Each structure stands twice: as C-alpha cells, then as structure tokens.
Structure 1
Amino acid sequence: MKYCIDTSALIDLGERHYPERLPVFAPIWRHVYQEINNGSIVSVDVVKSELESKADDWRTHFLSQANGMFHMDRNIESEFASLVADVESSSHLFNVNKSRERFMSGADPWVIAYARSKQYTVISAETKTRGLWAWCNMQCSECKSH
C-alpha cells in the first residue's frame, strides 16, 4: 500500500509523538525513511513548503533526509483542477467564509489530488477535515497518538 501524507501527520510524528532526537524512537524513524526512500510514503511540494515556512532543527533535518518524497506533476495538477471544480460545483456544502477557504488555502487539496491521481491512501492528523476526506471519496488513515 502507498500513502500520501499531509503536513499535520508529519508534524505529529516528528515533533509531538515520536521525536527523532530520542534514541528510543530510532527504529520508527529508520522505518519511516526506508518507506520514503522506496516510494511508499510520498507527499506534495506544498507540504514541503509548509514545513519550510516554520523551519526548526527537526524540520530542517527531516527535509534533508526526505527531500525526494515531495512531488508535483501534471497528473496531480490535473486532479487538483478537478477537485477545485468539484468544490466550486458543491459550494452549497461549504461555508464560503470558513470551510471552503480554509480547505483550499493549504496543502490538503493538493494531498488529496496526489492521492486521487495515484489511488493512494491519505494520512492526516486533522480531525476537523475528516468530513472533507469523505466528501472527496478518499480513504484516509487518521494518525492518533497511543
């Protein structure tokens, strides 16, 4: 199975729940980087930009190790355009001042577009957008702390 991961899931993984700086989590991080390197965990360049916008030691290190996981191509862009058209044609389901603008302003629609273009599963830590994933007819694995 292949996964397209959003910013919130990466931040939860690396900064909140399993800090890479702690040796006890080294096996988790070896596995994460292995899955990134073999292409099983991917994301879009918009997620990379979001991580770079608030760079700290962990994000800088992560981006140097996982740079190859971030993609953008014509298929993703085409799927994004389709997603935008779907959102616009269903504007009655979105509060123009809140839900739709918040959804469209971040990486979420790009993550969904990538996953839809490749039939990947989305990994997200955002519970506030769970309904949007369902609306987009996406399979989404929610990250939870244990």
Structure 2
Amino acid sequence: MDKQEIFLIDSNALITPFRFYYAFDLVPPYWKELKKHLDSGEVVILDAVKDEIEKGQDDLSKWLSSVSHLAIVPKITEQTVKEYQNVMQFVASSGYYTERALTTWAPENIADPWLIASAKANGYTLVTQEVRSRGLSKKTPNRSAKIPDVAEYLGVKAIDIFEMMRRLGIIIR
C-alpha cells in the first residue's frame, strides 16, 4: 500500500488565496474543504508558519484557530535540524546564490529553509506559491533563494496550491 501524501503548507499558500482569489465571503467552500484536509492531517503546518499567520490577527488567523485537529509540525527536531544544515549548506556552497541569499535565510524566524528541511525529514510534499527562479546559474548567482529551486536540488517535492487542490480532489463549485 502506498504511503498517503501529506502536504506541508507555506504561509504564502494560505495568505495569497485569502487576500487575492478565495476571499472568505466570496468562496467559503474552498476554506471549508481546506479545513477538512487540515483536520484529517492530510495538510499540516509548521509551527513557525502558524506563528506567522497568527501575527496577522485577521480573519485568516481566526480561521486557522478554528481548525480543531490542526497537525502542527515542530520546526526543531533532530532530523529537521540535520536537514536544515543541508539546506543552508546548499545555499552557501552551490554557487547559485550570493552571500545575500544566505544571510536572508539565516535568521531563525525565516520559515523557508525550515519548511524545506521539515518536508525532507518527514517525506512531505511542500506547498508554496513561491515561483522558481528562471535559470539558476553559477555565472550569475541569485540574490535570493527560492523554495521550489532549493527543494528540487535537495529532492523535496514542491507544488503550488492548485496542484495540491487537484491531488486532494478539492473542487470549488
């Protein structure tokens, strides 16, 4: 039997739909469906992402608080810390990024490298609305690291919210 795919969701995969295309008052079925998958544990959230959402003190943070069986993944575990070191080592030594990219991801409150590390450590599929860089090159290193690029190089599946909806069978009617 195949292991069930579990989706680890980035804050922008919640904030972007909330702000731009699935407003609570216009598309409540989306949020109802997503809540169902969060309650079931098919979609999980990193503690740092939850903290980021809660800082907003808006309708999205209230909605997230209403998810009764929310599976919160701790940022700090032995395996995740090892994978975090691999993520940061890749950004530092791959040649695809400038020193600025590393210093941007280095602060402890930046969730991006921890999301990749947690997805790798736990076998999750990472859900982000972040877009890949166009043509990573050692000749012209990027000033910022993008989740989908780093995830790919480290063998972590990264998809957008629409692909997650397809895989979970979320159809808004």
The TM-score bracket by the shorter chain reads: 0.7 to 0.9
State the partner residue of 2:121.
117
Name the count of aligned residue pairs: 139
State the partner residue of 2:62.
61
- 1:20 aligns to 2:24 (yes or no): yes
What is the Cα deviation at residue 61 of structure 1?
1.2
Residues 128 and 159 in structure 2, CA contact (< 8 A), matched pair in contact too:
yes
Larger Rg: 2
State the partner residue of 2:99.
96
TM-score, normalised relative to structure 2: 0.69
Identity %: 24
Pair 1:9–1:38, CA change in 2 (3 A): same
Using CA pairs below 8 Å that are at least 6 residues apart, which structure has the higher relative contact order? 1
State the partner residue of 1:142.
160
Give the 4+ runs in structure 1 shifted more than 6 A.
none
Name stretches of at least 5 consecutive residues in structure 2 with no aligned partner: 133-145, 163-173
State the partner residue of 2:33.
31
SS at match of 1:27: helix
- 1:133 aligns to 2:137 (yes or no): no
C-alpha distance in 2 between matches for 1:71 and 1:77: 13
What is the Cα deviation at residue 17 of structure 1?
1.2
Name stretches of at least 5 consecutive residues in structure 1 with no aligned partner: none
TM-score, normalised relative to structure 1: 0.80
Pair 1:79–1:49, CA change in 2 (3 A): same
Residues 4 and 115 in structure 1, CA contact (< 8 A), matched pair in contact too:
yes
